[in-house]
Amino acid sequence: MVELIEIHFSMALGDSFVENVGRGAAVLILHLSDIHFRESEIGTTQDPNVHLRNEIRRDVIAQCRKLGPPDVIIVGGDVAFAGSTKEFNFATDWLQDLCDACGGTLQSVFVCPGNHDVVRDLADRNLVQLVHDKIKSSSDPSAEIANQMRDRDARRLMYESLDNYNTFALQFFCDLLPPDRTRATRDLLLNDGSTLRLWGLNTAFISSGKDKEGDLFVDPASFQITRHDGVTNLVVAHHHLSWLREGIQFGYYLADVAPIQIFGHVHTNRIDMNVDYMRLTASAANPDRYEPGWEPGYNLLEVEVIRHDEQRKLRLRAHVRVWQEAPGGFEAKRYKGSDVWEHTIPLEPWDAPPAIAIPSPEHIVDTDRGPPPDGGSAMNSLRDLGLRFYRLSFSKKSEIAGRLELLEEEDMRQPDYERFRRVLLRANERSQLNELSAAVRAAELG
């Protein structure tokens, strides 16, 4: 099944299976987490974080003048504060401004959900809490999560509170829908022709007002990240391992399969450099300024493959930026006298074949549901159309989808974001992207 689907999408989007960034140079990752846009503050004269966000923007610009524009911008959850549509819309505009300023593109954004991206009023309902409690009280929570994911009503209860987040994440093809699409993926091309594979996990699917440390989970799909020749896995999740019930076990597993691991939530920067991995936990871009150890920050990470004495190595250079006060500004968090945290990790031998075609991630389960594997400019064009389509009103999106006959009867049972995702993918499959783009353009002008 997977192999056939990969062939289907490679024919539709071109021969390249991965985005052509980083060839001949390091891939540059801009990592932000815990932005916490609050509806009660954003766009008002009482917003206490306007200055801080502006300083982040200015510092990113200065750093990217030295390092180059980011190839991917990872936002590791807690984009919003209360999961409201207004908060996510503000985030989109802010990210667009940041991309324009630093030379990146909004198409490069890659996101995963955090606990503040959950609508608590929905997650705290009695029926939802019954599902959560059944998982938490189980002697085998992983098996119970899988069991609940197989039940249509239960999985809807677990994910309904993330609908606003998923509408936002659809712009970047990072939206999630259980049971088959509970993690987001994207492939980038490293400098030696190998693949950097991003995995965005969901640690917030049973998040609610009752969250406590050590009592959240990843679903079984997160334990199905596998190693492949010529592929380096990068895992990003919102909650630090200390917040996961199976955090120790999951940490051991990630050490085997993912040389790069990125977390957020704890609002304090931590860097763990092991022989097999770099584990990077971000400061919050917008923390609560009254919390202990208030430390706004963000990270830039350079990733490249080097060869030394016939051995391939992954070279990571982390530029950790943290806020200092009096005088205020972002400064480098130093490591043994250096502004850069540098680490090398041994890789298995691999040589690029004459014609590179690395398989896309295993999460693609059928041609109507999974996103096409990243296909260079073709995938960027599809993301660009998705971004424009996202900004239209619900009524305009629905009218276009109906007029172009891109909706099927089965779509009516799906959340809004999933229906519109299928519209985009169906337009690609039916060679209607130009027609859809023209309709979107007309709606934008109208």
Instruction: Specify the pairing of strand 183-189 against strand 109-111.
Output: unpaired
- Is the confidence at residue 294, as pLDDT, over 90? no
The predicted pLDDT at position 24 comes to 54
| Structure tokens given for 327 | 């005088």
Q: Convert the pLDDT of each residue in 302-337 to its tens digit.
A: 999 999 777 999 999 999 999 988 888 999 998 888
The predicted pLDDT at position 366 comes to 32
Contact between 139 and 54 (Cβ < 8 Å)? no
Bridge partners of 187? 197
Average pLDDT, the chain: 87
* Mean pLDDT confidence for 147-171: 96
The predicted pLDDT at position 265 comes to 85
Q: Which amino acid belongs to residue 317?
A: R
* Mean pLDDT confidence for 177-196: 95
Give the Cα separation of 360 and 170 in Å (integer): 19
Percent of the chain with pLDDT over 90: 71
The predicted pLDDT at position 85 comes to 95
Q: What's the pTM?
A: 0.88
The predicted pLDDT at position 4 comes to 31
Contact between 221 and 183 (Cβ < 8 Å)? yes
- What are the structural domains of the chain? 1-17+362-446 (no CATH), 24-346 (3.60.21.10)
- Is the confidence at residue 367, as pLDDT, over 90? no
